[in-house]
């Protein structure tokens, strides 16, 4: 048990910090959330800068443009980008945090050569086509059908909730290749080029009011067999690799950003007056913030532990479900408290005076998705109960 970063980690930290100190302000303010063209330019442009500076794909293999660095450098990296309030992965989320990692773990050499470096350079945006109207929590019930025809799979079906589908060049696609076997046994994982004829994308407005996710319809979409990751009908195993990245490590840097959110909350509470005093003079509020901060510190410690374990196996462990569960619910509590501190000003979603309404209320609304996306909180609890604790499954 050792929490001390090595001398070389600290050297890495100093270099990265110096680079971020210039690069972050130079990259400017993020564009409005509903301006997707600008968002893509902003997010992929930042990714390109990271790549050129040698800070993209900290743990990705060097041959694909990664840094092939130690996991502790990865942690230092998360801490520093959050500290500098650097742009977050944004539209590169799927490619960088679970699509790319899945290709590294399970893909062919040709797939690695084709995609990994481009993802790191911000030249390929990925999306995820897993869920279907009938297959959400029960993902393995998916029905989108792929039939082998020569060197292609011909895909027909309907995906839903695909974040970034309207801006992505590639997608992680799950299809049913054998309808006659147990549902988990007939699934295949494909890399889908989003410009293939036969794909139709229809945006679905969210409760935030933006078109972050879409429905995607497939009519005779031809996907080359060489785009298959893993074997035919072995897609469920590959999916679990993807999901463990999605649930385990994908949230790590956001967690540090949550500490910043808490700091923003405190800054607001110092400004807002209630009667004669500041909101921050309210002991009840300080206690609540103190609780949240303590929980957040413990959660970050848990991430470190989990990352250290994953370093041995290459794939994050099932405790990622515990991290995801705790993080998402904690985030909602922070966002709710911040909204309370805004008081009646919270009725407007654009800034009032020096109150950061827009930031807080967008986070409050977006946080509602955290306990649903990437496996709901109920499903995470089931995974913890059944797969970690070994409790019997609910009777059918």
Please list the active-site residues: 246
128 lies in the site for ligand FAD, by CB under 6 A: yes
Site residues for ligand FAD, 158-187, by CB under 6 A, read 161-163
Binding ligand FAD (rule: CB under 6 A), the pick from 42, 51, 126, 213 is: 213
Which of 13/39 has CB closer to ligand FAD? 39
Task: Work out what residue 375 binds among another protein, ligand FAD, none; the CB cut-off runs from 5 to 8 Å by kind.
Answer: ligand FAD
- 105, 229, 245, 265 from 238: Cα distances, Å: 9, 8, 11, 40
Report if residue 137 touches ligand FAD, rule: CB under 6 A: yes
Name which of another protein, ligand FAD, none residue 162 binds, using a CB cut-off of 5 to 8 Å depending on partner kind.
Answer: ligand FAD
Listed residue (139, 141, 121) closest to 130, CA to CA: 139
Identify which of residues 65 and 248 has a Cβ nearer to ligand FAD in the complex. 248
Using CB under 8 A, which of the segments 5-13, 55-63, 89-97, 348-356 binds another protein?
348-356
Neighbours of 149 (CB within 10 A): 11
Cα–Cα distances in Å, from 236 out to 175, 283, 396?
A: 10, 50, 22
Q: In the bound complex, what is the minimum distance in angstroms from residue 331's beta carbon to another protein?
A: 13
In angstroms, rounded to a whole number, what is the distance separating the alpha carbons of residues 45 and 22? 15
CB nearer to ligand FAD: give 163 or 227: 163
- Report if residue 275 touches another protein, rule: CB under 8 A: yes
Name every residue whose Cβ is closer than 8 Å to that of residue 348 and which is 6 or more positions away in sequence. Answer: 357
Binding marks (x or -) toward ligand FAD, 84..123, rule CB under 6 A? Answer: ----------------------------------------
CA dist., res. 125 & res. 163, Å (int): 11
Interface residue with another protein, options 53, 137, 181, 240 (CB under 8 A): 137
Is the separation of the CB atoms in 315 and 59 below 8 Å?
no
Instruction: Report the distance separating Cα 180 and Cα 148, nearest Å.
Output: 15
- Residue 163 near which of ligand FAD, another protein, none (CB within 5-8 Å, type-dependent): ligand FAD
For residue 390, report the phi and psi dihedrals to the nearest 5 degrees: 70, 25
CA distance 134 to 41: 34
Number of residues that bind another protein (CB under 8 A): 44
214 lines the binding site for ligand FAD (CB under 6 A): no
Binding ligand FAD (rule: CB under 6 A), the pick from 112, 329, 382, 385 is 382
Residue 268 neighbours by CB under 8 Å, 6+ apart: 279, 338, 341, 342, 355, 356, 360
The helix or strand, by DSSP H or E, that contains position 292, with its residue range, turns out to be helix 283-313
Residues near ligand FAD (CB under 6 A): 127-131, 136-137, 161-163, 213, 369, 372-376, 378-379, 382
């Amino acid at each position: 048990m050792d929490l001390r970063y090595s001398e070389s980690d600290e050297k890495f930290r100093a270099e990265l910090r110096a680079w971020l100190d210039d690069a972050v302000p130079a990259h400017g303010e993020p564009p409005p959330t509903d301006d997707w063209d600008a968002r893509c330019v902003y997010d992929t442009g930042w990714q390109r800068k990271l790549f050129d500076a040698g800070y993209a794909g900290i743990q990705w293999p060097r041959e694909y443009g990664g840094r092939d660095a130690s996991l502790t450098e990865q942690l230092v990296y998360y801490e520093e980008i959050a500290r500098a309030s650097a742009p977050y992965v944004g539209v590169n989320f799927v490619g960088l945090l679970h699509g790319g990692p899945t290709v590294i773990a399970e893909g062919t050499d040709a797939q690695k050569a084709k995609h990994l470096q481009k993802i790191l350079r911000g030249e390929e945006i990925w999306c995820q086509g897993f869920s279907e109207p009938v297959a959400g929590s029960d993902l393995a019930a998916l029905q989108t059908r792929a039939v082998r025809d020569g060197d292609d799979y011909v895909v027909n079906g309907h995906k839903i909730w695909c974040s970034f589908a309207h801006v992505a060049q590639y997608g992680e696609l799950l299809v049913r290749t054998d309808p006659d076997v147990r549902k988990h046994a007939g699934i295949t994982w494909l890399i889908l080029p989003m410009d293939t004829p036969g794909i139709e994308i229809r945006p679905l407005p969210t409760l935030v009011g933006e078109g972050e996710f879409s429905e995607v319809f497939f009519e005779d979409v031809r996907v080359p067999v060489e785009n298959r990751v893993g074997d035919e009908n072995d897609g469920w195993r590959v999916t679990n690799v993807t999901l463990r990245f999605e649930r385990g490590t994908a949230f790590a840097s956001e967690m540090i950003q949550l500490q910043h959110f808490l700091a923003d909350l405190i800054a607001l509470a110092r400004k807002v007056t209630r009667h004669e005093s500041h909101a921050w003079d309210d002991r009840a509020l300080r206690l609540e913030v103190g609780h949240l901060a303590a929980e957040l510190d413990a959660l970050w410690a848990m991430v470190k532990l989990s990352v250290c374990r994953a370093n041995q196996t290459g794939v994050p462990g099932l405790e990622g479900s515990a991290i995801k569960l705790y993080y998402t619910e904690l985030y909602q509590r922070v966002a709710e408290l911040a909204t309370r501190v805004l008081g009646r000003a919270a009725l407007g979603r654009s800034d009032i005076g020096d109150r950061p309404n827009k930031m807080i209320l967008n986070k409050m609304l977006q946080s509602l998705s955290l306990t649903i996306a990437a496996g709901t909180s109920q499903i995470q609890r089931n995974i913890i109960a059944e797969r970690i604790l070994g409790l019997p499954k609910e009777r059918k």
